[in-house]
């Protein structure tokens, strides 16, 4: 029987420790990296693309569809550690065609993330078979 859909490898709270965060609700890594890591009071996500978590296929043909999928995947990574977009403090977005896609991407982003918005860097990048990739940094909540 499969295990739980979300979890962590360890629960160490030592500020100098590093904890891998994994969820089957976001795409599996395509290489030697973690989906997300907790360290020093923050959760850092890997660059996340518009892939279906189950099949690994790219979802959508437009920047709007792909941005929505990327944000669904990132929402799942944050939720695996009890966080949401209100905890995000830094975003880096890579667009395959910055001049063509920025406005549509920004519209989805603006509708999805709450104010005050995190700081953000948006750049044009060469991406393999996708239009967008985003990584985030979120603050952990303290009880």
- Please give the Cα distance from 85 to 74 (Å, whole number): 9
Residue 104 structure tokens = 């549509």
Q: To which residue do tokens 């609700």 refer?
A: 25
Determine the straight-line distance between the first and last CA of the chain, rounded to whole angstroms.
Answer: 33
What pLDDT is recorded for position 17?
85
What pLDDT is recorded for position 5?
47
- Please give the Cα distance from 80 to 18 (Å, whole number): 16
Whole-prediction pTM: 0.88
Mean pLDDT by 10 residues, the chain (143 residues): 44 69 96 96 97 96 98 98 98 98 98 98 95 98 74
Answer yes or no: are the C-beta atoms of 47 and 35 closer than 8 Å.
no
What pLDDT is recorded for position 8?
46
What pLDDT is recorded for position 4?
42
What pLDDT is recorded for position 88?
98
Instruction: List 95's β-bridge partners, or say none.
Output: 124, 132
């Amino acid at each position: 029987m499969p295990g739980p859909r979300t979890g962590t490898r360890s629960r160490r709270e030592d500020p100098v420790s590093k904890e891998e965060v994994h969820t089957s609700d976001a795409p599996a890594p395509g290489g030697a990296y973690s989906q997300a890591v907790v360290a020093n009071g923050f959760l850092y996500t890997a660059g996340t693309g518009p892939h279906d978590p189950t099949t690994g296929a790219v979802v959508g043909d437009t920047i709007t569809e792909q941005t929505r999928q990327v944000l669904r995947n990132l929402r799942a990574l944050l939720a695996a550690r009890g966080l949401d977009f209100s905890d995000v403090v830094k975003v880096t977005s890579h667009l395959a065609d910055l001049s063509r896609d920025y406005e549509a991407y920004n519209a989805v982003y603006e509708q999805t993330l709450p104010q005050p918005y995190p700081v953000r860097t948006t750049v044009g990048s060469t991406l393999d078979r996708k239009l967008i990739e985003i990584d985030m940094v979120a603050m952990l909540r303290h009880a």
